[in-house]
Amino acid sequence: MDEKIDTAIQYYSKKLNIVNSKTNLSADEIIHYGEEMAVIEYKLTALEVAKEN
């Protein structure tokens, strides 16, 4: 189970890095990517808690 959690953490970390690397965004894009980042961060937090337990 830990292996699957580690794989998911790696996936979402890469996805978060991709979103963070965006530049020259319009206001609508900032809102969109901000929402996407919030979801990714929530998932990463849940996965890290699951890994600890």
Q: Residue 25: pLDDT band by 50, 70, 90 thresholds?
A: confident
Whether 38 has a pLDDT exceeding 90, the answer reads: yes
Nearest to 43 by CA among 6, 19, 12: 12
**Is there a contact between 40 and 16 (Cβ–Cβ < 8 Å)?**
yes
Give the separation between CA 22 and CA 8, rounded to whole angstroms.
22
Whether 1 has a pLDDT exceeding 80, the answer reads: no
Task: Give the CA-trace dihedral at 27, 19, 41, 31, to 10 degrees.
Answer: 10
Whether 30 has a pLDDT exceeding 80, the answer reads: yes
The predicted model gives 40-45 an average pLDDT of 94
**Is there a contact between 12 and 44 (Cβ–Cβ < 8 Å)?**
yes
pLDDT at 44: 94
The predicted model gives 11-40 an average pLDDT of 90
